[in-house]
């Protein structure tokens, strides 16, 4: 329907933003995971970012802004979605006998059910004045406000049972995400294993002042990290010691004036 600005004679009954918070939480958590793993330079970051983008895009596509106005005996519903023009639905309520909701199973993992607000006229015809909104509670609240304003009594609820195909479609949403999670997990495991196998650990226990890689370690401090195999210089007060690093091994070196060259041991 064509867009129309609300007139001064219209009275607002209800206004709400309907967002699938389940999708927002999922996108936020996965985004945090992708940021943390990116800082750790793990390949899981890309997979997590893709999952977060899919969850956020799905959530945004189902978000709705809905407002209910009345103008005399007319009900005006304004509904807006992201990147879509506002839709205005208007119906003469003088012939309305009942207000209710049409509820059915959701085909998305973002909500368990969806519902639209319906008006029933004197001849028994039903008119949907909203699209199917995520979460039946929102549609019930909108219907209650309309029924209360026009003194139409209690709202009615028409529930449509879930058929197997709808349940299968909703489960398919998780099925589509699971392979990505499995692939990302395998990639992370392989990356972690290869990193452990190709690098060695070097730990400095600073009994006395020493310098390693431009970092000064004072007495009582420690330095530890993973390094490629090779020989690394540790500067003591009176000499420089070449400390060996072996892939898959751990080398512990105590910074003190009488320290010898340490022997790497398998890192378990």
Looking at the fold, whether 56 and 114 belong to one and the same domain comes out as: yes
How many other CB atoms are found less than 10 A from the CB of residue 162? Answer: 15
Candidate from 102-116, 132-146, 248-262 with smallest mean pLDDT? 102-116
Q: What confidence tens digit (pLDDT) does each residue in 63-120 have? A: 889 998 888 888 888 999 888 888 888 888 888 888 999 888 776 666 777 888 888 8
Candidate from 1-15, 99-113, 174-188, 240-254 with smallest mean pLDDT? 174-188
User: What proportion of the chain, given as a percentage, has pLDDT over 90?
Assistant: 15
Question: Which of 125, 154, 172 is a domain's end point?
Answer: 172
In a domain, 113, yes or no: yes
Looking at the fold, whether 168 and 204 belong to one and the same domain comes out as: no
- Domain limits at 250? 200-266
How many domains is the chain built from? 2
In a domain, 187, yes or no: no
Please give the residue that has the higher pLDDT: either 20 or 216: 216
Looking at the fold, whether 147 and 75 belong to one and the same domain comes out as: yes
In a domain, 185, yes or no: no
Looking at the fold, whether 85 and 208 belong to one and the same domain comes out as: no
Looking at the fold, whether 168 and 55 belong to one and the same domain comes out as: yes
What pLDDT, on a 0 to 100 scale, did the predictor assign at position 41? 63
Looking at the fold, whether 137 and 210 belong to one and the same domain comes out as: no
In a domain, 184, yes or no: no
- Which of 68-72, 127-131, 158-162, 203-207 has the highest average model confidence (pLDDT)? 203-207
pLDDT over 60 at 7, yes or no: no
Q: What confidence tens digit (pLDDT) does each residue in 220-236 have? A: 999 988 888 999 999 99
Mean pLDDT value across the chain = 80
Looking at the fold, whether 92 and 33 belong to one and the same domain comes out as: yes
Q: Where does the pLDDT of residue 3 fall: very low under 50, low under 70, confident under 90, or very high at 90 and above?
A: very low
pTM (predicted TM-score):
0.55
Looking at the fold, whether 136 and 20 belong to one and the same domain comes out as: yes
Instruction: Reduce the secondary structure of the chain to three states and give it as a string.
Output: CCCCCCCCCCEEEEEEEECCHHHHHHHHHHHHHHHHHHHCCCCHHHHHHHHHHHHHHHHHHHCEEEEEEEECCEEEEEEEECCCCCEEEEEEHHHEEEEEEEEEECCCCCCCEEEEEEEEECCCCEEECCCCEECHHHHHHHHHHHHHHCCCCCCEEEECCCCHHHHHHHHHHHHHHHHHHHHHHHHHHHHHHHHHHHCEEEEEEECCCEEECCEEECCCCEEEEEECCEEEEEECCCCEEEEEECCCEEEEEEECCCCCCCCCEECC
Q: Where does the pLDDT of residue 169 fall: very low under 50, low under 70, confident under 90, or very high at 90 and above?
A: very low
Looking at the fold, whether 146 and 225 belong to one and the same domain comes out as: no
Looking at the fold, whether 23 and 113 belong to one and the same domain comes out as: yes
Question: Which of 156, 172, 188 is a domain's end point?
Answer: 172
In a domain, 178, yes or no: no
In a domain, 186, yes or no: no
Looking at the fold, whether 132 and 245 belong to one and the same domain comes out as: no
In a domain, 108, yes or no: yes
In a domain, 6, yes or no: no
Looking at the fold, whether 43 and 134 belong to one and the same domain comes out as: yes
């Amino acid at each position: 329907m064509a867009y129309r600005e609300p007139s001064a004679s219209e009275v607002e009954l209800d206004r709400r933003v309907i967002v699938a918070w389940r999708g927002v939480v999922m996108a936020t958590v996965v985004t945090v995971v992708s940021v943390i793993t990116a800082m750790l330079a793990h390949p899981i970051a890309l997979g997590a970012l893709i999952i977060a983008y899919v969850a956020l895009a799905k959530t945004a596509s189902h978000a709705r802004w809905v407002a209910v106005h009345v103008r005399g005996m007319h009900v005006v519903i304004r509904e807006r979605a992201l990147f879509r023009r506002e839709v205005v639905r208007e119906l003469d309520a003088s012939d309305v006998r009942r207000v209710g909701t049409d509820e059915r199973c959701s085909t998305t993992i973002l909500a368990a059910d969806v519902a639209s607000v319906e008006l029933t006229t004197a001849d028994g015809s039903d008119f949907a004045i909203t699209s199917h909104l995520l979460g039946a509670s929102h549609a019930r609240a909108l219907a209650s406000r309309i029924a209360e304003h026009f003194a139409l009594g209690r709202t009615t609820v028409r529930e449509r049972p879930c058929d197997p195909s709808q349940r299968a479609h909703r489960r398919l949403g998780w099925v589509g995400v699971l392979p990505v999670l499995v692939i990302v997990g395998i990639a992370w495991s392989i990356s972690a294993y290869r990193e452990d196998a190709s690098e060695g650990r070097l730990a400095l226990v600073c009994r006395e002042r020493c310098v390693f890689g431009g970092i000064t370690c004072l007495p009582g401090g420690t330095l530890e990290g993973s390094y490629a195999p090779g020989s690394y210089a540790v500067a003591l007060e009176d000499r420089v010691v070449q400390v060996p690093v072996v892939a898959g091994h751990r080398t512990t070196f105590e910074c003190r004036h009488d320290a010898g060259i340490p022997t790497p041991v398998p890192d378990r």
